[in-house]
Amino acid sequence: MLGLNKKDTSLLIIVALLTLLAPFILNPFPEGSAMAQFNAGYPDLMQRFVIFGIFAIGFNILFGLTGYLSFGHAAFLGVGSYSAVWMFKLLSYNVIPAIALSVVVAGVFSLLIGFVSLRRSGIYFSILTLAFAQMSFALAYSVLSNPKFNLTNGETGLQVYADDPQILQGANAPDLPHLFGLPMRATYTMDVGAWSFDFNAGYYLCAVIMMVVFYLAIRIFRSPFGMMLRAVKSNQQRMNYTGLNSKPYTLAAFVISGMYAGLAGGLMAAMDPLAGAERMQWTASGEVVLMTILGGTGTLIGPVLGAGFIKYFENIFSKINDNVLHSWFAFLPDGLEDAVVFLIHPFIGKGWHLTLGILFMLVVIYLPGGLVEGGQRLLNRLKRKKTDADDAPSGKTEPAE
């Protein structure tokens, strides 16, 4: 189907089902119950899951296929956001032109940075991309916020104001990002017994786009171009000895990856029409590296899982506090209850980074292939147990011939 083999088609269908049914999957606990705080099915968080999934998929095309580790991909995320907001300011709140411009501008910007950075490899390439990203952050934060041209509005962030031109904004069009009149914030809430499910227009736009770019990533991975990128990762020097110039391939991968990041930035602005320099900081670049490694570098679905895992920790796990812990362990004697809460306290709330760091170390040490490798090991173990059970003697004896 769609030019994919059976395995890739199944993977695409799984991703489609997970994204389309996310409002149900992410809200397993009834509203008002003690476990409802672990629900993640509200629109803002679901949008973040998908948008950062797109960001990680694009990063994986560069890092997973070529082995080039970029510490500056947040620059393209920020450029995409700024481009989308400027489109809102100049034309209209329709998200299609804004998203298109964010991809184009990020592609041009990544072409310029990649042309310079790819002259080096290894740690030198990583440092160059980090330097470019930090320079971009400094430009957005201070230089380009100069009142003479004010392209970024500095630390306040770029946003849409009532006196902006918006030359294509119709009188009856919504005064917020929309898709041909459908507001991105439009949400339908379905109550089923004690459960509540939100279906948000912005989320489903992001979800459809993620399925499209995920399909494109599969085609890239399975194409001759993808094979060339794997050859670069395997042994670039030997590849050059054969007479093949690897630079155009690595530059193309860098630009494609940058366009994915720009798309993610444009979607972030489409969901919330505000762009700030903080999206270009080195911490944002490091976050996508963690997502890709945690999920499984070089795998197709791994970066999406890693993005969801980290964003869940950031938004849900971090909300657990001492009061919640006391309610959980109230059945224990007072002294023991306080001791348990004292021991767990450093790992929850503001200390969620510590828990994430420990999990990341465990994954890197014991599951180098990330969460995908963990899932594969679990499936293989279950299959082995089933095979052993089928092959076990039944206890019956057959007469000798």
- Indicate whether 149 pLDDT > 90: no
Residue 237 lies in a domain: yes
Neighbours of 309 (CB within 10 A): 21
Residue 342 lies in a domain: no
pLDDT level of residue 35 (50, 70, 90 thresholds): confident
**pLDDT digit string, tens, across residues 302-359:** 999 999 999 988 888 888 888 888 888 888 888 898 899 899 888 888 888 888 889 8
**pLDDT digit string, tens, across residues 263-282:** 999 999 999 999 988 889 88
Measured CA distances, 145 to 140, 152, 154, 271 (Å) = 7, 5, 5, 23
Domain CATH number, residue 86: 1.10.3470
Residue 240 lies in a domain: yes
Residue 192 lies in a domain: yes
Residue 349 lies in a domain: no
Burial class for 282, CB neighbours closer than 10 Å (0-12, 13-18, 19+): middle
Residue 355 lies in a domain: no
Name the token pair of 172.
Answer: 């009856």
Give percent of the chain above pLDDT 70.
96
**Of 4-18, 70-84, 164-178, which range is least confident?**
164-178
Is the backbone of residue 275 left (phi > 0), alpha (psi -120 to 50) or beta? beta
Domain count, the chain: 1
More confident of the two residues 83 and 360: 83
Query: What does the pLDDT average to over 371-389?
Result: 84
Mean pLDDT of the chain: 89
Residue 72 lies in a domain: yes
Measured CA to CA, the distance from residue 12 to residue 158 in angstroms comes to 36
- Domain range holding 87? 6-285
